[in-house]
Chain A
Amino acid sequence: MTHPAIDVQRLVKRYGRTTAVDDLSLVVEAGTVLGLLGPNGAGKTTTVECLEGYRRPDSGVVRVLGLDPGRDAAALRPRVGVMLQTGGVYPGVRPEEMLRHLARLHSSPLPVEPLIEALGLDACRRTPYRRLSGGEQQRLSLAMALVGRPELVLLDEPTAGLDPQARHAVWDVVRQLRHDGVTVLVTTHLMDEAERLCDRVVVVDAGRVVADGSPAELTSAGAENTLRFSAPVGLDVSSLEAALPEGVVVTEDAPGAYRVLGPLDPRLLATVTTWCAAHDVMPEGFSLERRTLEDVFLELTGRALR
């Protein structure tokens, strides 16, 4: 197939006077994992709900597996696995019962037993949903998205409120999906999650795309990267700066703690060590710092809490 798994062009969705999604475009190639990253209220869930067919766009074009989620819902439903952010399960139903039921709605579902074991639902398989812990509820919700063997999986905040172990279990599932050729779109506001899991990250803020690329591209593009080392107090930083390419800044942050700020490459590193050799200085604790996705995210979306 030639079309991408998800193709959103100029999507606009308003609720009354609020514009939740404002001219958003994104493409997810088949077999890849895309992270939709953004602060709370950025429009992530609304975008996903347009993909799921729950919401009709006010304008723009949404195509999922080449189909229109509104018009072709019946054809799409068996092919797309959905994990809602909250709820979606009968309070009195048991995890095993719910999974077996959903399996029976599909033509060639996953065997339920291995899924229950892999997602750690064995101990609570007969416990009513309302008595499950938050993590167990999330993992059941994830299993529900997988059991029909979909081509595309939409996960809305799959690790929200999970302990580290449960988060790793979710990450393993996403990696396995990718390994097995299933396309995944995952929304999150956790940078490390996006950095670990995703082939591509789309950062949204206030309903707009503010960045789009691989985690490596986003963290290195135009990055002011940092080299730190310690050495005797009182080195002549302006002399070092003069040896380096223009625009690179050297500072002594604390006595004996030096910082070189600029685009890092092997040549710059060599220049620093050559300068040190010429001045008979032994630099210690050499460390390179790259921007994390979190830094990028905060720069793009602002530091204000919302």
Chain B
Amino acid sequence: MSGASTGSDVGRLLPDLSSAPGAASWSRMVRSQAALEVRLLVRNGEQLLLTVVIPTVLLVLASSVGVVDLGGSHGMTRRIDVVTPGIFGLAVMSTAFTGLAIATGFERRYGVLKRLGASPLPRSGLLAAKALAVLVVETAQVLLLSGVALALGWAPRGSWVALGAAVALLVLGTAAFAALGLLMAGTLKAEVTLAAANLVYLLLLVGGGVLVPLERLPDAVAAGLSLLPSAALGEGLRQALAGQGVAWAALAVLLAWAVGAGALTAKLFRWE
């Protein structure tokens, strides 16, 4: 290694540019990429609004004021106990779906994905880094929202099994929504992705069974909605955190969405 400047004939203070090529290890590349994506997200005001402010405000509003009457769910009758699991589901949707779709759509549009394609980071590494970044952000979201919910009197029931089931639902939900988000980002224009990702988020928030328990709805409607990933995530979490066991049907629905959307994304995603 010679770090000294050898280009005195050039007359500028350029470092020695002689070649010493090589890729860093896969795990080091993935960690660096994930850290960069998290930093960019934290710095982005709109993303923070989506991932932190909206879920927190909804949690506080829906649990204290009677803005919407959510009724009971899975034997839980207190407002905060009904709302909190759904807010976790919403947090997953905001990060894994809307946030990821918009960020990736614009990365594609601005040629970032193209440029990274010429770097030593392979595509598998980029996907792993995105997954890692999403999970880091979601962990922070769940910790923050849990703190707020507990302060508001949230009293989850159930054992470690319930907790394990909740984590499994969050992870599978993340996989399903991330696959859907990337499908959108990799096939539509960035502006369309921006609009559509927000619109879908809003529609699922209002009528997708993530916040509003399906028990409140007519059976036929509920049966249809329960096949949506948002409803599977919300209902599954409400069941688990009410101490009513593992929601196998919800896990199956999320797994199906993750596999289906994942396969479609792998087939249709365009990097440029």
Contacts and interface: CB of A to CB of B under 8 A. Distances in A.
Contacts of B32: 101, 104-105
A39 B17 CA distance: 30
B175 to A, nearest CB: 25
Interface stretch (B35-43, B54-62, B165-173, B241-249): B35-43
B13 A148 contact: no
A117 interface: yes
Nearest to B5: A114
Interface stretch (B77-85, B112-120, B250-258): B112-120
Contacts of A53: 118
Interface stretch (B23-31, B196-204, B225-233): B23-31
B19 A182 contact: yes
B41 to A, nearest CB: 9
Contact of B115 (A87, A92, A150, A176): A87
| Interface core residue of B17, B20, B115, B117 (most chain A CB under 10 Å) | B17
A274 B11 CA distance: 45
Interface in A155-203: 169, 172-173, 175-177, 179-182
A149 interface: yes
A77 interface: yes
A27 interface: no
A106 interface: yes
Contacts of A245: none
| Interface core residue of B24, B32, B33, B107 (most chain A CB under 10 Å) | B24
Interface stretch (A12-20, A78-86, A285-293): A78-86
A93 B17 contact: no
A176 to B, nearest CB: 5
B1 interface: yes
B63 to A, nearest CB: 34
A52 interface: yes
A80 B112 CA distance: 17
B255 to A, nearest CB: 31
28 contacts: A74-B122, A77-B23, A77-B119, A77-B120, A78-B120, A79-B19, A79-B21, A84-B114, A84-B115, A86-B111, A88-B111, A89-B115, A91-B106, A97-B36, A107-B20, A107-B22, A114-B14, A146-B17, A149-B17, A169-B12, A172-B10, A173-B14, A176-B7, A176-B12, A179-B10, A180-B17, A180-B18, A182-B19
List 3 tightest A-B contacts by C-beta distance, closest first.
A88-B115, A107-B22, A87-B111
B21 A90 contact: no
Contacts of B33: 101, 105
A176 B40 contact: no
A122 B21 CA distance: 25
Interface residues of B, number: 44
Nearest to B122: A74
Nearest to B3: A111
Contacts of B272: 54
A181 to B, nearest CB: 6
Given A88-B110, A107-B24, A182 B39 contact: no
B12 A172 contact: yes
B15 interface: yes
A233 B20 CA distance: 65
A178 B20 CA distance: 15
Contact of B21 (A86, A150, A172): A150
Contact of A54 (B9, B112, B114): B114
A239 interface: no
Contact of A78 (B10, B15, B22, B107): B22
Nearest to A177: B17
B3 A118 contact: no
A106 B3 contact: no
A115 interface: yes
A64 to B, nearest CB: 12
A155 B115 CA distance: 13
A102 interface: yes
| Interface core residue of A92, A144, A175, A176 (most chain B CB under 10 Å) | A176
A4 to B, nearest CB: 16
Interface string B110-152: 1110110111111000000000000000000000000000000
